[in-house]
Amino acid sequence: MDWTGRRILVTGGAGFLGSNLCHTLAERGARVVALDGFFFGGGANPANLAGAAVELVRGDIREIDLRPLCEGAEVIFNLAAQTSHMGGQNDPLADIAVNAVAQVRLIQAAREAAPDAVVVHASTRQFYGRVTKQPVDETQPVAPPDANGVSKFAGEQYWLLEHRVRGRPVVSLRLTNCYGPRLRIRDARQAFLGIWIRCVLEGRPFEVWGGSQLRDMTYVDDVTAAFLAAAECRDCHGRIFNIGGFPPASLHDLAELTVRLAGPPASYITKEFPADRARIDIGSYHADDRAFRAATGWAPRVSLEDGIRRSIDWFRPRLADYL
């Protein structure tokens, strides 16, 4: 697809994944509008869009009039969400308001102002909960382990209903552990690797909970490429896809790699899972993303070692902007 001159709406556009997507779209000549509410505890950061030719609209997706933002949009990349697992457990009503009710608001606005727009919805592998079969494909039963998973599943299903009932071209990408530049690193609300990066750059040991769990990681450039491929591929419309990465690694192996790439005095300590976290932890996870690869030709390009190295090097001179 030639993105030159195309009007694009990115919800959650100042967050980790959204801002990286906005930078790429702007570089390809798209006219990008980024909506973000800068929710407390979220991944949005004004520094994320520095240098990008993007129109930033600060507004709460639960309240703002979404129709003018949707007007004329050819593609809507929908990344607005409350992503904290513990946040959803502690305040499920607020979780539902963003991840489900606000999605219906956006659907209604898009019906009126952008009836033909392609929608790529950022979803999550969290829906599958604890699985017994690895790798996990899209036929795996859904069993969300926490309130955040339930609310996000509802939001995804509203979008897929829009495809089934009204023919809207919708694609849902169930993402796994995404990492890279512009990740929230001040704490572990967005991803465990975020707080690890902060700690190694500050010369403090980071904590590994458990350690034997397997995770597959997806570098943000590969995630961005997946979003663009989903928007461009007609064969993806109306479908759900898992997005993974390279073969999975244990948390201990990831910790060792992070320490080696960061260099002295980086270190870590292993701890038991906190009781409240253990109840909602999914255990090991490895995505089977062959369906998306077959439909689009997409494949991850950034290896785990290269991706962690790039992430540490990117944050090193920018640490103050992300604390």
> Given this model, what pLDDT does residue 245 score?
85
> Given this model, what pLDDT does residue 39 score?
86
Residues 37-82: tens digit of each pLDDT: 998 778 899 999 999 999 999 999 999 999 999 999 999 999 998 8
Q: How far apart are CA 56 and CA 59, in angstroms?
A: 9
Positive/negative CA dihedral, 176, 321, 274, 272: positive
Q: pLDDT-based confidence at 248, cuts 50/70/90? A: very high
DSSP secondary structure letter of residue 100: I
Q: How far apart are CA 198 and CA 187, in angstroms?
A: 8
Q: pLDDT-based confidence at 88, cuts 50/70/90? A: low
> Given this model, what pLDDT does residue 29 score?
98
Mean pLDDT computed over 155-173: 97
Instruction: Give percent of the chain above pLDDT 90.
Output: 80
- For residues 218 and 177, the answer to whether their CB atoms sit within 8 Å is yes
Q: Which residues of 128-155 are buried (b: 16+ CB within 10 A; e: fewer)?
A: bbebeeebbebebeeebbbbbbbbbbbb
Mean pLDDT computed over 197-219: 93
Mean pLDDT computed over 254-265: 96
Q: How far apart are the first and last CA of the chain?
A: 37
Mean pLDDT computed over 276-298: 87
Domain ranges of the chain: 7-184+219-245+286-302
Half-sphere exposure of 34 (CA within 13 A, CB side): 29
> Given this model, what pLDDT does residue 87 score?
62
Mean pLDDT computed over 12-33: 98
Q: pLDDT-based confidence at 284, cuts 50/70/90? A: confident
What CATH code is assigned to 7-184+219-245+286-302?
A: 3.40.50.720
Mean pLDDT computed over 295-312: 97
Q: pLDDT-based confidence at 85, cuts 50/70/90? A: low
- What angle in degrees, to the nearest 10, is found between the helix axes of 102-113 and 147-166? 20
Positive/negative CA dihedral, 262, 268, 274, 279: positive
Q: Is pLDDT at 161 greater than 70 in this prediction?
A: yes
Mean pLDDT computed over 106-118: 97
